[in-house]
Structure 1
């Protein structure tokens, strides 16, 4: 579990990484601790990391995908603040109720192999962006996926 160094608690700052193909198929992963709830790669920033380093590390840890092999993650300069689900607030410092999430993208040429840690994720799927958006349980993840057609036109990763 990423931490801020204080008693192993997570920092309330995270990266969301949308992995997608040129034809806008999106990688989603199903949470092991919240079955039937799908999302893109996400994880908390560790002390001393830049947000791009967090995005790259989480992508590698959660899927085995090396962002460097595809030109690296791209910061979309989109951030969201949302309430942390009550069942996960004990992972953060006492009194923490909200998280600041920063969106990154990674364009891959085609669906690439994915290696999941079964303690974190149960399954993965490559879905057309419209289906992926509907399948996400997180509004911020859904909003980011809905930006994909616009991002593709601008060629901004």
Structure 2
């Protein structure tokens, strides 16, 4: 059945000496592009399941922390994944992208999708991440951590499996 037309983005974070660090990954297909864990949903899985799976596949996260949904939401062009554009049909033009934060203090194991990763403070991570929507989500996560108001419930629709043609 393939991938569903939505994308997730997770910024792993940890606390060190009273401040926060964020794991930022360099893509292997686009060197010099750094981001959090990112990927598309698979058939029959929920947005939350996709986020947890991508964390395991891309960073080796076998004992994930709690996922915290961010208010930041974005879209990406469906043509980024040319191999899926035909399968999705003419109606899928953009894909929603949902952002999360996840506390994580374990080992990171890179997949073939990345060349490198680093734990960085907010300023360095923000400078390294080059996509404005990702910068906004990273800013929101940092701001929520700073304000101590990250703990938020995951909306029920993010827990339900997605099917082609469904929205929220």
Give the TM-score taking structure 1 as reference length: 0.81
Q: In terms of Rg, which structure is larger? A: 2
8 Å contact from structure 1 (residues 27, 125) kept in 2:
yes
3-state SS in 2 of match to 1:115: coil
Match of 1:127 among 117, 120, 139: 120
List alignment gaps of at least 5 residues for structure 1.
Answer: none
Cα offset, 1:47, TM superposition: 1.6
Q: 2:100 is matched with which residue?
A: 104
CA distance in 1, matches of 2:85, 2:4: 8
Report the more deviating stretch, 94-103 or 53-62.
94-103
Q: Unaligned stretches of 5+ in structure 2?
A: 152-168
Q: State the Cα distance separating 1:114 from its structure 2 match.
A: 0.9
Structure 1 residue 31: Cα displacement: 0.6
Q: Which residue of 1 aligns with 2:133?
A: 140
Q: 1:42 to 1:67 in 2, by over 3 A?
A: farther
TM-score (structure 2 length as normaliser): 0.76
* SS of residue in 2 equivalent to 1:24: strand
* 1:78 Cα offset (Å): 3.1
Structure 1 contact 129–148 (Cα < 8 Å) conserved: no
2:45 to 43, 49, 57: 49
8 Å Cα contact 2:8-2:97 kept in structure 1: yes
What CA RMSD, in Å, does the superposition of the two structures yield over aligned residues?
Answer: 1.9
Match of 2:73 among 71, 75, 79: 79
Question: How do 1:28-39 residues align onto structure 2 when only pairs under 5 Å count?
Answer: 28-39=24-35
Cα separation, 1, equivalents of 2:142 and 2:35: 18
